[in-house]
Amino acid sequence: MLDPAPAGDLPPAILRQTRWFTPNETEASFYAPGSLRVDSPPEVAESLLSLGPEAVVLKLGARGVYLVDRDGLAMQIDRFQVHAVDTTAAGDAFNGAFAAALMLGNPPAESARFAAAAAAISVTRPGAQPSMPTLSEVQEFLKADQK
């Protein structure tokens, strides 16, 4: 998994060896500047996929995330409605939770929803490390969302 934060030059071989490339919109505009339309996450994600990674999770902040991979996965994961206090560590919360969920054997879409929940919780708290939710907090958050 590669979170290109902050955006900077990457050797093409790195991207070709990456399973999940997880830029936010600002980072995505650095890596695929000629093809970006902010209102078209599928276009942006496909452009990033063409750079070599096996899959892309485009983090869209308040608009959720968009997943695409070389096997035909292409889907939007909506955001969770929360009152944001501090977005400092939202991307880190997302990536950590996404990686953990994948490692537990969850499919990418379910992992992305879990990660979006973790990021949503994190933005409701100030700071970086103090804002990171626990596994049980994310599970409870997801249960409450289903009601």
pLDDT in tens, the chain (147 residues): 999 999 999 998 999 999 999 999 889 989 987 655 556 898 899 999 999 999 999 999 888 999 999 999 999 999 999 999 999 999 999 999 999 999 999 999 999 999 999 999 999 999 999 899 999 999 999 999 876
What pLDDT shows up at residue 62? 86
The overall pTM is greater than 0.85: yes
Alpha carbons 147 and 140: distance in angstroms, whole number: 11
- Answer for the pair 58, 32: CB distance below 8 angstroms, yes or no: no
Residue-range definition of the domain harbouring residue 33: 1-79
92, 128 Cβ separation under 8 angstroms: yes
Burial of 76 (0-12, 13-18, 19+ CB in 10 A): middle
How many domains would you assign to the chain? Answer: 2
CATH of residue 71: 3.40.1620.20
Task: Tell which residue, 123, 126, 100, has the closest CA to residue 111.
Answer: 100
Query: What's the DSSP call for residue 79?
Result: P
Q: Annotated active-site positions, please?
A: 92
Last residue of one domain, picked from the residues 79, 103, 119: 79
Q: Are residues 8 and 70 in the same domain?
A: yes
Q: What is the pLDDT of residue 36?
A: 55
* 128 and 68 housed in the same domain: no
Q: How far, in Å, CA of 134 to CA of 121, rounded?
A: 10
89 and 128 both lie in a single domain: yes
Kindly state whether residues 73 and 85 are assigned to the same domain.
no
